[in-house]
Amino acid sequence: MKDNPIIICVGQGTLSFMTPESDGSYVTHPYPVKSNMSIAANLRMAFKEETYLTDLGKKAVATPAILVPREEYNLNPNENLNETLYSTVITGHKGEVKVATEIEELDVVAIFPVNSDLQMVVQDHFPIVSTQNVMTDVWRDTYNKYYNGADHRKLFAYFHDRVVDIFCFEQHRIRFANAFQATHAHDALYYTLYTWKQLGMNSSDDTLYVMGDMPHGDWLIERYSAYITKVEKIEK
């Protein structure tokens, strides 16, 4: 098995694959999802059609996720804890496997659902499967690279899979994290500015960081800048 796994990225009606190069970098392969088929069926088709999926080792990525303080998660552990905590916050994922991942830097546990049919397809093709939510790495990397104890606050908006995840840190923890539909740029603008206002961010002193695949990115940056003085775009 190779050191770097194949990464399968599963979004809301989207599917893509990341395959490792010899230098450690990754190449992204978007897969044209057939809307009349489930994601699991599309994945089965991809394994039959795409030659770049022949390597062993893999890591599947899924959404959405909830965050639970680590001390609360460990307070009363039991085999049904993930299901109980997740279904209390988000409905519509009954019957899906709930996976938990600890984010040590932020002292939280992320819990997210994985479609059971999708998981079965992956396990049929790889002997070792590590399932991860796309946002756990984003939260971790953003915290390590961009968060610090500066006087001004920072709000982050990450665009992916027709969704914008908006989050911020405070006192070395995640203060706010939520995901919104962002198929249209106007929706993304509304949700970001609404969150900015609800959190009491200062339009002159605080900073908005945006990253990922934004719909109509130039227009969004222009509109953000009309309301917020400090807008920074984080390149991939």
**Residues 89, 66: Cα–Cα separation, whole Å:** 8
Specify whether the backbone of 174 is left (phi greater than 0), alpha (psi in -120 to 50) or beta: beta
Beta bridge partners of 174: 169
Q: What is the pTM of this model?
A: 0.77
Lowest-pLDDT choice from 95-99, 119-123, 213-217: 119-123
Model confidence over 70-93: pLDDT tens digits?
Answer: 988 988 777 789 999 999 888 888
Tell whether the model's pLDDT for residue 60 goes beyond 90.
no
Which of 32-41, 67-76, 137-146, 190-199 ranks highest by mean pLDDT?
Answer: 190-199
**Residues 144, 224: Cα–Cα separation, whole Å:** 25
Tell whether the model's pLDDT for residue 1 goes beyond 50.
no
Model confidence over 157-215: pLDDT tens digits?
Answer: 999 888 999 999 998 899 999 999 888 999 999 999 999 999 999 999 999 999 998 98
Q: Give residue 2's pLDDT band: very low, low, confident or very high (50, 70, 90).
A: very low
